[in-house]
């Protein structure tokens, strides 16, 4: 699976996904840190990538659009990188299944205790 990681998330997430065999890039690697949302959206489409972001605007745009990249909307609040990666570890199978089904937006939220 291909992933494009947005600027609010750490490059370490892209490296971790890459270590698991996914094709993952962070916007910083692609010179897109200052890019507009439209440029990031278009890059995800061009690369055939799932867009991983904390930006609600992408989730809203994808919900309203008839096509576009799948969006993983990270809704963990302020959290450290280790917690973020651990939550992805817990949710990756479900994320892959949702994207495989064609879900437009997948929310990554805190696990309920």
Q: Model-level pTM? A: 0.94
Please report the pLDDT score of residue 112 as a whole number.
54
Parallel, antiparallel or unpaired: strands 23-26 and 50-53 = unpaired
pLDDT one-digit tens code per residue, 39-69: 999 999 999 999 999 999 999 999 999 899 9
Span 10-35, pLDDT tens digits? 999 999 999 999 999 999 999 999 99
In the structure, what pLDDT confidence band is assigned to residue 110 with cuts at 50, 70 and 90? confident
Spatial strand order in the sheet of 2-5: 23-26, 2-5, 50-53, 71-75, 105-109
């Amino acid at each position: 699976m291909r992933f494009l990681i947005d600027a609010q998330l750490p490059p370490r997430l892209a490296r971790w996904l890459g270590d698991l065999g996914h094709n993952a890039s962070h916007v910083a690697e692609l010179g897109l840190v200052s890019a507009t949302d439209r440029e990031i959206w278009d890059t995800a489409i061009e690369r055939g990538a799932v867009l991983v972001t904390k930006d609600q605007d992408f989730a809203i745009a994808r919900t309203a659009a008839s096509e576009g990249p799948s969006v993983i909307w990270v809704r963990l609040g302020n959290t450290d990188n280790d917690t973020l990666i651990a939550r992805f570890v817990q949710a990756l199978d479900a994320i892959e299944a949702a994207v495989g089904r064609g879900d437009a937006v997948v929310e990554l939220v805190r696990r309920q205790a």
